Structure formats: C-alpha cells, structure tokens
Amino acid sequence: MATRKECIALDAKDKLAPLREHFALPEGVVYLDGNSLGALPRAAPARIQQVVQDEWGRDLIGSWNTAGWIDMASRLGDKIAPLIGADAGEVIVADSTSINLYKVLSAAIALVKADASHRNVILSERSNFPTDLYIAESLAREHGFELKLVNTDEIEAHLDDRLAVLMLTHVNYRSGLVHDMGRLTRACHAAGGLVVWDLAHSAGAVPVDLKGSGPSEEAADFAVGCGYKYLNGGPGAPAFVWAHPWHTEFMDSLHMRQPLSGWLGHAAPFDFKPDYHPAKGVQRFACGTPAVISMAALECGLDVFWAAEAYGGMEALRRKSIALTSLFIRLVEEHCVGQGLTLFTPRDAAMRGSQVSFSRATGAYNIVQALIARRVIGDFRAPDVMRFGFMPLYTRYVDVWDAMVHLTQVLQTGEWRDARFSQRAVVT
C-alpha cells in the first residue's frame, strides 16, 4: 500500500515533473478533469493579449499576412500531426469536432457511392459519444443509409458486405476503453469498408498511429479530434481533421468536395470566383475564416507537447499516464472497500486511456459534487459514472493520493448525502 510520502517521493523522481510548470493551476486544487477541459497553459494569457492588443489592435487587418493568421490552421495542424501518427501537411485545424465529423463522414459516404457500391451501413457502437451518433444519424437519413449500433464486443461480427463506414471513438468517453485501432481498421478494410476515428479522448493522451506502422490495411481513412481536452486549447478550442492522402488524391481526381464547401476550402480563395474548386489535400476540409484568438490559445497548449519531446514525448507521457491511473485504481479499491464502487474502466492498462471511471448505483453525481466542494475536480456521466482524468503533463502522484483520501472521506462520512450535492447543474 502506497503512502502520501511515497507519492511525494515518486513526484521528486518524475522526469516529467518540470512540465507542470507550463500550466497555471489553482493552488490547493486537485484537477482530474483534463479529459473534459485541459488546464490553462501559462503562456496563453500573454499570447492572447499579444494577438488582441498588437496583432489585432495595432496591426489590424494586416496581421493576416504579417502575423501569419492565414496560415494558422495548417501550422497548428502540423503540430498536431506527430501526436496522431500523421505527416506534415495532412492535418488542418478548423471548426468543431461535430462539424468536422460531418465533413469526413460525408466524404466517406461519397467515396463509397463513387464506387457504385451496394454498401449502405454506417456502423458504430451504442456507447459512442452522442454527438457522433447524432451526426451519423442525420447523414444516414440524408443518404438513405442505415445507422447500425452494436455493443462494443459485437463490432467485428458486423463488419460484413453491407458495411460502408465504421465510425468509432478511439477512447470511449465514459469507460476509457481504448480500441485496437490497427486491428479494427484492418478488419474494416478486409470487409470492404472505410473507417472514421474520433480522437477526442486520444490526441495528447495516448499514442496514436493513424497511418499504421504495419500493413497498409492498418492505415485509417479519416479522423477528427478536439482541441480543448488533452491538447489544452481552452474552452471551445478549434478541432482538427485528418484525411489519408490516398483519399484526398482520389477526391482530387474526381473533383469531389466535402459538403461544407466554404471559401477557405477553395483552391484559390482570394481569386473570389463564383464557382467552387476544392483545394488539394486536407485543405479542402477547411470551411470559413479561422478563429484566430482561439487558435492562438490552442497553439500554446500544443507547444507544451513540443517541450515534452525533451523528456521522451508521447511514449513517456503514456508510461506516466498508466502509472497514475493504475495507482488510483489500486488506492481506491484498497481504501473504499464496501462503498459500492465498481471499476468501469478496463483494468488492463493497455486497454485504458488516461482516465479512470467508477460506477455507483446510487449517489454518483452527488459524490462528484462533494469532491468538487473539496476542490477535487472530476466529473459525472449519466447515469452512474464518476470520471477522473489524469493528464501526465501536469498531474502528480500526490494528486492521486489526495484525491483518494477525499473520495474515501466523502464515502465513509456520508457527506455526499447533503441535499446541496443533489442539485443538478446544467453541465455535469
């Protein structure tokens, strides 16, 4: 059994510990919700002020050229690319995850139809994040396709000759289960389908290899992801989109476009032609004018990952993530025996993202609220899941210990039963 003193000793030996200094974390707060909103990079306020006061306030519209605003979407995409196993020029930052999913899922459907295929099933799992299912449902209705939802362990059994697109989130938002991306992508391709991956809970948290280090069949087709979780881009940060070059090249040859054909996805946006000609490569997935201030904040978050390269990069972050989540599971199960908690996250570290979820038949929401009142911040996902995210860039081993102590006290004292903790806020 670990002790607080031993956890402090682990922090003292942690080679990644200096990375915490890149973040402005409130004193006395144990922040375990980076899987929902990443912490504030220390560089972000000054950078945002620079954009507002100097680039916008002083240089005005000239900053599109002089400050490189017009290239931000591609520049940030190139910083994300190494985190997801893509190459420079293949990722673009734009819009939201939902909008980007609409773009790439539409493109995947168009590619299937271009092949004159009889395939008409979009396959996903019931536990996928709701926005992904809502977007897929609307597109299935629009194209006369069927959205088929199955349990996680049934996915491969439904990869058949009707499959058009397999749409999955790499790390499940509630359970933290990590799908075997290479195996499922290979199985999907063997069945003749295309695969779209949502990396919202992966990028910056677990190593991702979209293009595959094995057979070409393991290379994904499309991916989207979010900027405000593990990438620490701030609330509402722009998302990103990736398409395998072989698809963008094929789309070039067919003059295919994605459905939101806005002006910055045009081959020559400043020619201001009335007819649309898609840009080459991933640039075609741009749409409207980039959100410059938000992108500036996101770039500060991405720059911390570049700093992390000196400490071993994503592989080192993954090792620490596993150590943090494993320690939390062990401590909670040792100290909270008989308190009705059930581990909802895979026990096998290889199948677990950078979060730990426990379910409890009663009081899960109230318990999270009681912890927040103690300045231990996790979150709740209906109907009965308590989520705790561990971002190795800034989470310490002593944070794991302190969170366990507070959770134990909340449960043992029955503090969570206080009526004030049952008042549901809009955001849980």
**75 assigned to active site:** no
**Average pLDDT, integer, range 388-392:** 97
Phi then psi dihedrals of residue 427, to 5 deg:
-100, 125
Which tokens hold the place of 389? 């995210």
The per-residue pLDDT of the chain, averaged, comes to: 95
**148 assigned to active site:** no
Judge: domain 4-31+312-422, CATH 3.90.1150.10.
yes
Percent of the chain with pLDDT over 70: 99
**229 assigned to active site:** yes
pLDDT tens digits along 179-237: 999 999 999 999 999 999 999 999 999 999 999 866 677 899 999 999 999 999 999 99
* Contact predicate 390/355, CB 8 Å: yes
Q: How far apart are CA 49 and CA 296, in angstroms?
A: 10
**pTM, full prediction:** 0.95
Determine which of 139-153, 216-230, 345-359, 403-417 has the lowest per-residue pLDDT on average: 216-230
CATH of domain 51-301: 3.40.640.10
**276 assigned to active site:** no
Q: What 3-state class would DSSP assign to 360?
A: coil
ω into residue 82 within 30 of 0, thus cis?
no
**132, 387, 390, 396: which is the annotated catalytic residue?**
387
pLDDT at 217: 75
* Contact predicate 212/180, CB 8 Å: no
Above 70 in pLDDT, residue 315?
yes
* Domain edges within the chain: 4-31+312-422, 51-301
* Contact predicate 19/35, CB 8 Å: no
Above 70 in pLDDT, residue 349?
yes
pLDDT at 56: 98
**129 assigned to active site:** yes
Beta bridge partners of 336: none
**33, 78, 132, 198: which is the annotated catalytic residue?**
198
Q: What does the buried/exposed string (b/e) look like for 158-168 if buried means 16 or more CB atoms within 10 Å of the residue's CB?
A: bbeebbbbbbb
pLDDT at 251: 81
pLDDT tens digits along 397-407: 999 999 999 99
pLDDT tens digits along 250-305: 887 766 778 898 999 999 999 999 999 899 999 999 999 999 999 999 999 999 99
Q: Which amino acid is at 103?
A: K
Above 70 in pLDDT, residue 350?
yes
**23, 31, 228, 421: which is the annotated catalytic residue?**
228
Q: What is the largest CA-CA distance in the chain?
A: 69
Percent of the chain with pLDDT over 90: 90
**23, 31, 129, 365: which is the annotated catalytic residue?**
129
**20, 174, 186, 229: which is the annotated catalytic residue?**
229
pLDDT tens digits along 91-113: 999 999 999 999 999 999 999 98
